[in-house]
A and B are shown apart, each in its own frame.
Chain A
Amino acid sequence: MMKLLTSLLVGLTLLSAPASAQTGPLRLELDQGIIEPMPFAVPNFVPDTPAAAQYAADISRVIAADLTGTGLFREIAPEAFISRVNSFEAPIQFADWKAINADALLTGAVNLSGNTLTVRFRVWDVFSGQELGNGLQFSGPTDGWRRMAHKVADQVYGRITGEGGYFDSRVAFVSESGPKDQRRKRLAIMDYDGANVQYLTDSAAIVLAPRFSPAGDRLLYTSYESGRPRIYLLDVGRVRKQELKTQDGTMSFSPRFSPDGRSIVYSLTQGGNTDLWKMDLASGQSVRLTNTPAIETAPSYSPDGSRIVFESDRSGQPQLYVMPANGGEATRISFGQGRYGTPVWSPRGDLIAFTKQNKGRFHIGVMRVDGSEERLLTASFLDEGPTWSPNGRVIMFTRETQGASGRSSLYSVDISGRNLRPVRTPDGGSDPSWGPLLN
């Protein structure tokens, strides 16, 4: 049986601090608008033995790619280095790193013992000559080397920004191939950076919009395998799926987990009318949350589980509404020009990401939960379906190009609107769902 998301069981050990450990002054304040990326240096981690050399080099590269990929950091090319780091324990020649304008320095070592890799690292504030936080080490099996690199990068990101990272995480998405009128879709999962793609379904039936459970162990998605859209629950580790039985209706779709993972909210269509329902997963019992002749879809819970934001065309065109999690009166929060859809509450609780369609263009945007301070982050022929990074700083979404050769692919953008970048996938990609940080 295929095993996904297997326990890497990364061991974590504090290294004794060589000097008095203290929090240095080095800090990126993300809310103050980072324009100039922070220069940092990552000399290749030192292999304890020649057998560890390739892992050491690869791990260093993945860490550097994680950090530069945020748009917040700029890597200084190794050719510029004055010092060589040949020993993890040797004193740092801070003057050599200051001379090349490195603000932060990351040093590390990699040990290979049988099938077990151990990565040790320290983060340095070059200007003050102090260590930033404490040295740490992670251990795990060799096939989890990328995860260990992501964990180191999450630590570096966290120590410099004061916020949680997002590199050791996975993204579920729909892999797309074939022309527009014969598109084949498969459910897939990958590391956040596009590595380690694994397919969870074949392309026999259309699959849509996977959604991670809060713990990252299950996926909800919609499939036409019965001939009509129905919601399925998939155990990611065992790749085992079950259909979630709903009330009679022509289709059920657009499911999303509650924050405790015990229930889902979804759309059910009956007699051409689409309303929101909630299902308790243990009992399979559903209750209706909305009852209007309008289309109600794309629901998403607030992180505390008390409210649901959703899309409805009850005003005549699609707009965003917030209602109590058990239903009841909904408050409209979107009032700008155009049509709003696919609202998703941020994991920090402070923002709602959405798709906006206006004057023939599509945008990914964010607004406060009361609808104020709307900001559009992207613009293209077709952008849709935002999903949040675990720390609420980055949004991944689907971008589709125009015309007969139109193709879907995944992009990410910082909530500042900067750092728009493609997320590489083997084929086309759509409907990303960003899972939680892994343990």
Chain B
Amino acid sequence: MNVLSKIAALGALALVTACTNNDPSALGGAGGAGALVPGSASDPRSPAYFQQAVGDRVLFAVDQSTLSPEAQTILQGQADWLLANTDYTATIEGHADEQGTREYNLALGARRANAAREFLISRGVAGNRLQTVSYGKERPIEICSTEECYSKNRRAVTVLTGSTAG
């Protein structure tokens, strides 16, 4: 609820500030404010935009927590967005697939969340804006027992947790 109201407020703010936005990915091709629906994925300052256009998650290889080039590209986008939208903080959730014991996967998820956090910090995002939590194998988004699902479950998801603009 709280987040939703903040999203609405920020959406309105985005309309006003859009013309001064120096985010390289923002609005260039939007063709004017008329096409912009505040708070929607077309609004570059919206959490929905962060989630869908920037990409809120990075994926990992089996038992790994190193960031692939693709993951680094997504995280660079996340860093740019967070630097442009300083009202937001984030919690990075680390996850594992179901192969592996519960305890080990908790620790592995923590490694993945931390790898994403360290990358964002290295790109200038303040550490005190970034929390981490691991869910191990407790919260799969895909439920089949094949690599197709496992590859999507081995993830670190950057969840925007709020805005200090309140």
Contact = CB atoms under 8 A, between A and B. Distances in A.
Interface of A: 179-181, 183, 206, 208-209, 227-229, 250-251, 253-254, 267, 269, 271-274, 295, 297-298, 311, 313, 317-318, 339, 341-342, 355, 357, 360, 381-382, 384-385, 400, 402-404, 406, 431
A343 B138 CA distance: 21
Contacts, number: 105
Contact of A250 (B101, B108, B110, B142): B110
A253 B98 contact: no
Contacts of A228: 133
Among A269, A298, A311, A313, the most chain B Cβ lie within 10 Å of the Cβ of A269
A48 B133 CA distance: 61
A179 B111 CA distance: 27
Nearest to B98: A382
Top 8 A-B residue pairs of the complex, sorted by shortest distance between their CB atoms: A272-B114, A274-B107, A341-B101, A295-B107, A180-B143, A297-B103, A402-B145, A404-B143
25 contacts: A179-B143, A209-B103, A229-B106, A250-B110, A250-B134, A251-B133, A254-B103, A267-B107, A269-B134, A272-B110, A272-B115, A272-B118, A297-B104, A297-B106, A311-B104, A341-B100, A355-B101, A357-B101, A402-B145, A403-B145, A404-B143, A404-B144, A406-B98, A406-B143, A431-B102
A339 B62 CA distance: 13
B113 interface: yes
B111 A311 contact: no
A227 B159 CA distance: 13
B140 interface: yes
Contacts of B138: 183, 206, 208
A269 B103 contact: no
Contacts of A227: 133
B158 interface: no
A209 B140 contact: no
Contact of A181 (B113, B140, B145): B140
